[in-house]
Amino acid sequence: SPRRRQMVVANWKMHGSFDFCRAMIPALGRAAQDAVELVVCPPAPFLATVSQLALGTGVTCSAQDVAELPSGARTGEWSAAMLAEVGCRYALVGHSERRQHHYEDDALIAGKARACLLAGITPIVCIGESAAERERGETEQVLCNQLDWLMSTPLWRQAIVAYEPRWAIGTNQAATPEVAQATHALIRAYLAQCDAQAAARMPLLYGGSVKADNAQQLLAMPDIDGVLVGGASLDIAAFLPIYSAA
């Protein structure tokens, strides 16, 4: 199978401060290795600072969200081109908290992914089913529908997909490595129906209660190319063992 980029992504959500950035980025930089990309998603007010602190350390920077439009009357939003200008390489798109608290739907999320790809920002497109959907046996249908939206986007082959089952986010109930692997294999197979080469190359990240004690088993799975870490990314002692497991 082709070599896929391995990455570990720290999603700070709405946590942190200037002091936190000034302490974390150099510490992460000392741990960062070429073989596994270490990506940090700070809150938007700290993106420029984090990308400056990260220069030359091997740490890269991602936004937690981005606007669908390239510019315009959209108070409170920022464009993908602005992210590129402050040194971001990635943007999370469609995180479940954006879907839940900001009513983002698949059409908007596809628009955000498209805006990123056109501006040279790699979108990390988050997909995942709810607990009720999994219990009803609808997981495959839900994920395939979310992937259809992604694949309707020009340049989708350059995106990254993060599988984040909603029941696993912030719950301490991570998917088992077997469930995560089976779901990643399903995602890759569905992408392959559209473009086998693109599917084989695309990094697929798992997110949802990744901790030091489950990271290694998850990352050992053949279709899990990295992890997206929320809660455990805020504490260097919790995060570095996750990074080292990759």
Check binding of 164 to ligand PEP (CB under 6 A): yes
Check binding of 183 to ligand PEP (CB under 6 A): no
> Side chain identity at 223, as an amino acid letter?
D
Among 121, 207, 225, 245, binds ligand PEP (CB under 6 A): 207
Q: Minimal CA–CA distance to 116: which of 135, 93, 95?
A: 93
184 in catalytic set: no
Output the CA torsion sign for 201, 207, 211, 217.
negative
164 in catalytic set: yes
3 state SS of 60: strand
Q: Which two tokens stand for residue 65?
A: 């969200």
Check binding of 165 to ligand PEP (CB under 6 A): no
170 annotated ligand-binding residue: yes
> Side chain identity at 93, as an amino acid letter?
V
The residue count for binding ligand PEP (CB under 6 A) is 13
Check binding of 93 to ligand PEP (CB under 6 A): no
3 state SS of 49: helix
Round to whole Å and give the CA distance between 104 and 46. Answer: 23
Check binding of 39 to ligand PEP (CB under 6 A): no
Check binding of 199 to ligand PEP (CB under 6 A): no
Active site residues: 95, 164
Q: Which residues bind ligand PEP (CB under 6 A)?
A: 11, 164, 169-170, 207-210, 228-232
